[in-house]
């Protein structure tokens, strides 16, 4: 049997010769040596590695029991084309088009125990054939939540953008990773261009600064905390937190939980995230913010960052960014804006005023997969300061980020983020933006806000519903279902106690809608309400009517378990019930 050369003795001078031609190798195994490897003969101390790749020719092992087993991770037209086209047909028919049709279910809900019996989820030593794989594709679609369905209003993302989907498929087919220009030239430039355009929308001068696509808004917020801390105390990168004053950051009581989670993850400690009170609409109280900063100074700790929110998770509130910016400047604090949800409004001339003052931020989190409906996940961190990402996170790994490459190494972005391999999430958003243009993106946002306003108006017309906020600021529409026995009672503590018990629905088990039950803060007498997060720009008034009918029906059914009169609620609209 031929022994492969060890890496330090492998010094190729040109195109390598395929080892598949060597007859001493076992007949069942085919190996190709990467043909294009170059190295400098002067760098004797640097080892050069060859990549052992699967062959282009059919690779198989003959198994005495199961017959021919294909194992190479490489597509073969004769073997895989029909299978892949069948998968694509299933996805288009049952996930993309049927899965977004109002005439079909959001989900065929099953308990974990039932689902475990319905789908063969376990893996085994023996392979399965294409027919069974296709059945698994179909079953996976059947029992999964259709997040593009008109009645999926459970989360702050929904819809299914066809251009974003095409972009995602393109990225998956090419399977790149973003860290050096040489392995992802097109996507590297694409990301730079899209991030600059997003910084322009934020209002950073000439779109300058820095940025990165992140695996989710929580990670983007973590990057912001990391950059803020490094900006204030750069020696933390090498010396750690030992011997430094206690660091404190601030965010509102209604802010996303990731701020606390990331502070804990980074060693700052969740107790050192000082929460700031909100007003009745969920906006940060700037007077209390200054009180919390002064409290920190009195304790001998060191304030370093304020994280404001542009579009809170429950009420959709936009913090007063300009006022917060002034406070940050007064105390020398890093000003971060978590616009993961509300950032999409920057595309709209009509609604971008909601984010007035965001141009003063040091960093911004913005998730195009939310209000703009790019496919999951598509999240960004945008920074005013060029170079802080690299200064904070670089390790200068010489085997990957050499400075003497044959191109401008400023396009090697991998050293400025904490990952190595990184998905090309930019392709989904870029492809959408190209297909619709900035004009189309603006029209989408305007229509989403119009749809939320229409949905709000329909809720107000019905005695069985009550809005949490009379006029929502964003497209979060929060409301209560009021059962008949409570509709004419005054809103006192007993009323609120009963109402808290009436906010839940068994809609998922009925397969009709997926609606969110939102939790309010401890200071609120009413803890729970229904919340819809409207991202869809398609206007279909029948959809809105049917959604409200389904909500009413499901709430009445749930509450009817305790009082049968609720099953006959006269406020249920006379619309075909969703099943």
Domain annotation covers residue 397:
yes
ω into 377 cis (within 30 of 0): yes
Task: Indicate if 400 and 458 belong to the same structural domain.
Answer: no
Task: Indicate if 313 and 455 belong to the same structural domain.
Answer: no
User: With 90 as the cut, is the pLDDT of residue 485 above it?
Assistant: no
Report the SS3 class of residue 14.
Answer: coil
**Helices (H) then strands (E): counts for the chain:** 15, 16
Task: Indicate if 386 and 465 belong to the same structural domain.
Answer: no
Task: Indicate if 250 and 335 belong to the same structural domain.
Answer: yes
- What confidence score (pLDDT) does residue 163 get? 96
**Could you give the CA distance from residue 109 to residue 88 in angstroms, rounded to a whole number?**
24
Half-sphere exposure of 478 (CA within 13 A, CB side): 24
User: With 60 as the cut, is the pLDDT of residue 520 above it?
Assistant: no
Q: By residue range, what is the domain housing residue 37?
A: 1-74
User: With 80 as the cut, is the pLDDT of residue 65 above it?
Assistant: no
Helix axis angle, 426-460 to 185-202, nearest 10°: 40
User: With 60 as the cut, is the pLDDT of residue 502 above it?
Assistant: no
| Segment 76-104 mean pLDDT | 92
Residue ending a domain, among 379, 400, 424, is: 424
Token couple for 387: 């170079």
Reference 345, options 357, 330, 355; nearest CA is 355
**Could you give the CA distance from residue 478 to residue 480 in angstroms, rounded to a whole number?**
7
User: With 80 as the cut, is the pLDDT of residue 579 above it?
Assistant: no
**Could you give the CA distance from residue 222 to residue 482 in angstroms, rounded to a whole number?**
40
Task: Indicate if 126 and 182 belong to the same structural domain.
Answer: no
- What confidence score (pLDDT) does residue 104 get? 87
Domain annotation covers residue 161:
no
What CATH number should be reported for the domain holding residue 563? 3.90.1150.170
Report the SS3 class of residue 266.
Answer: coil
Taking only the tens place, the pLDDT of each residue in 351-393 is: 999 999 999 999 999 999 999 999 999 999 999 999 999 888 8
CA separation (Å) from 111 to 118, 136, 445, 557? 10, 18, 36, 20
| pLDDT range class, residue 539, cuts 50, 70, 90 | low
Task: Indicate if 259 and 354 belong to the same structural domain.
Answer: yes
**Could you give the CA distance from residue 200 to residue 205 in angstroms, rounded to a whole number?**
7
Q: What DSSP state is assigned to residue 278?
A: B
**Could you give the CA distance from residue 342 to residue 439 in angstroms, rounded to a whole number?**
18
| Segment 406-417 mean pLDDT | 72
Task: Indicate if 504 and 382 belong to the same structural domain.
Answer: no
**Could you give the CA distance from residue 523 to residue 455 in angstroms, rounded to a whole number?**
28
Q: Taking a C-beta distance cutoff of 8 angstroms, is the pair 232, 223 a contact?
A: no
Token couple for 11: 């010094």
- What confidence score (pLDDT) does residue 35 get? 33
Token couple for 379: 């999240």
Task: Indicate if 69 and 87 belong to the same structural domain.
Answer: no
Task: Indicate if 303 and 215 belong to the same structural domain.
Answer: yes
Half-sphere exposure of 175 (CA within 13 A, CB side): 3
Structurally, the chain folds into a number of domains equal to 4
- What confidence score (pLDDT) does residue 546 get? 75
Taking all residues of the chain, what is their mean pLDDT, rounded to a whole number? 79
Token couple for 44: 């004797």
Q: Taking a C-beta distance cutoff of 8 angstroms, is the pair 161, 376 a contact?
A: no
Highest mean pLDDT among 106-115, 479-488, 553-562: 106-115
Reduced 3-state DSSP string for 112-160: HHHHHHHCCCCCCCCCCCHHHHHHHHHHHHHHCCCCCCCCEECCCCCCC
| pLDDT range class, residue 166, cuts 50, 70, 90 | very high
Q: Which residue has the higher pLDDT, 223 or 237?
A: 223
Task: Indicate if 449 and 368 belong to the same structural domain.
Answer: no
Q: Tokens 């958003």 label which residue?
A: 429
Domain annotation covers residue 230:
yes
Question: Torsions phi, psi of 241, nearest 5?
Answer: -85, -10
Residue ending a domain, among 424, 459, 492, is: 424
Q: Which of 278-287, 486-495, 537-546 has the lowest mean pLDDT?
A: 486-495
User: With 90 as the cut, is the pLDDT of residue 244 above it?
Assistant: no
Domain annotation covers residue 158:
no
Q: Name all contacts of 382-385 with Cβ < 8 Å and 24+ positions apart.
A: 382/195, 382/198, 382/199, 382/202, 382/204, 382/209, 382/210, 382/211, 383/209, 383/210, 383/211, 383/227, 384/204, 384/209, 385/209, 385/210, 385/227, 385/231
Q: What is the pTM of this model?
A: 0.81
Q: Which residue has the higher pLDDT, 518 or 9?
A: 518
Task: Indicate if 260 and 398 belong to the same structural domain.
Answer: yes
446 burial via Cβ count (<10 Å: 0-12, 13-18, 19+): middle
Task: Indicate if 306 and 267 belong to the same structural domain.
Answer: yes
Report the SS3 class of residue 503.
Answer: coil
- What confidence score (pLDDT) does residue 286 get? 98
Q: Which of 34-48, 142-156, 397-411, 491-505 has the lowest mean pLDDT?
A: 34-48
User: With 50 as the cut, is the pLDDT of residue 19 above it?
Assistant: no
- What confidence score (pLDDT) does residue 522 get? 52
């Amino acid at each position: 049997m031929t022994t492969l050369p060890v890496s330090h003795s492998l010094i190729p001078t040109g195109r390598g010769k395929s080892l598949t031609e060597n007859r001493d190798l076992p007949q069942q195994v085919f190996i190709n040596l990467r043909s294009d490897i170059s190295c400098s003969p002067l760098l004797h101390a640097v080892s050069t590695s060859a990549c052992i790749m699967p062959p282009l020719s059919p690779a198989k092992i003959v198994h005495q029991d199961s017959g021919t087993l294909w194992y190479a991770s490489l597509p073969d037209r004769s073997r895989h084309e029909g299978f892949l086209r069948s998968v694509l047909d299933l996805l288009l028919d049952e996930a993309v088009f049927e899965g977004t049709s109002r005439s079909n279910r959001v989900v065929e809900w099953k308990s974990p125990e039932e689902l475990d019996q319905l789908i063969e989820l376990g893996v085994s030593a023996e392979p399965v054939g294409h027919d069974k794989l296709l059945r698994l594709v179909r079953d996976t679609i059947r029992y999964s939540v259709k997040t593009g369905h008109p009645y999926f209003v459970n989360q702050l993302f929904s819809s299914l953008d066809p251009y974003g989907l095409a972009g995602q498929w393109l990225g998956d087919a090419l399977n790149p990773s973003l860290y050096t220009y040489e392995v992802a030239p097109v996507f590297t430039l694409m990301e730079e261009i899209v991030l600059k355009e997003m910084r322009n929308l934020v209002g950073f001068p000439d779109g300058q600064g820095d940025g990165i696509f992140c695996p989710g808004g929580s990670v983007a917020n973590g990057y912001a905390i990391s950059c803020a801390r490094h900006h204030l105390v750069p020696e933390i990168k090498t010396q750690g937190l030992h011997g430094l004053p206690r660091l404190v950051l601030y965010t509102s009581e209604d802010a996303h939980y990731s701020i606390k989670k990331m502070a804990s993850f980074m060693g700052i400690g969740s107790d050192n995230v000082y929460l700031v009170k909100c007003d009745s609409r969920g906006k940060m109280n700037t007077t209390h913010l200054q009180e919390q900063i002064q409290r920190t100074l009195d304790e001998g700790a060191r304030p370093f960052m304020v994280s404001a929110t542009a579009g809170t998770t429950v009420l959709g509130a936009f913090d007063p960014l300009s006022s917060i910016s002034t406070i940050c400047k007064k105390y020398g604090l890093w000003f971060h804006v978590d616009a993961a949800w509300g950032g999409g409004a920057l595309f709209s001339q009509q609604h971008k005023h909601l984010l007035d003052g965001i141009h003063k931020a040091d960093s911004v989190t913005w998730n195009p997969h939310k209000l703009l409906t790019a496919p999951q996940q598509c999240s960004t961190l945008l920074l005013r300061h060029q170079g802080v990402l690299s200064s904070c996170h670089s390790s200068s790994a010489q085997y990957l980020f050499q400075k003497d490459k044959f191109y401008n190494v400023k396009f090697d972005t991998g050293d400025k983020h904490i990952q190595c391999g990184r998905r090309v999430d930019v392709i989904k958003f870029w492809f959408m933006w190209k297909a619709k243009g900035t004009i189309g993106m603006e029209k989408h946002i305007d229509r989403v806000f119009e749809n939320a306003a229409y949905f709000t108006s329909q809720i107000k017309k019905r005695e069985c519903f009550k809005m949490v906020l009379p006029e929502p600021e964003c497209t979060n529409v929060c409301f209560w279902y009021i059962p008949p026995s409570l509709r004419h009672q005054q809103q006192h503590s007993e009323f609120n106690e009963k109402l808290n018990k009436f906010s839940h629905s068994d809609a998922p088990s009925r397969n009709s809608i997926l609606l969110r039950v939102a939790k309010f803060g401890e200071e609120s007498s009413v803890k729970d309400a229904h919340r819809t997060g409207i991202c869809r720009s398609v206007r279909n008034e029948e959809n809105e009517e049917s959604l409200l009918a389904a909500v009413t029906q499901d709430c009445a059914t749930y509450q009817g378990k305790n009082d049968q009169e609720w099953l006959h609620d006269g406020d249920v609209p006379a619309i075909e019930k969703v099943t």
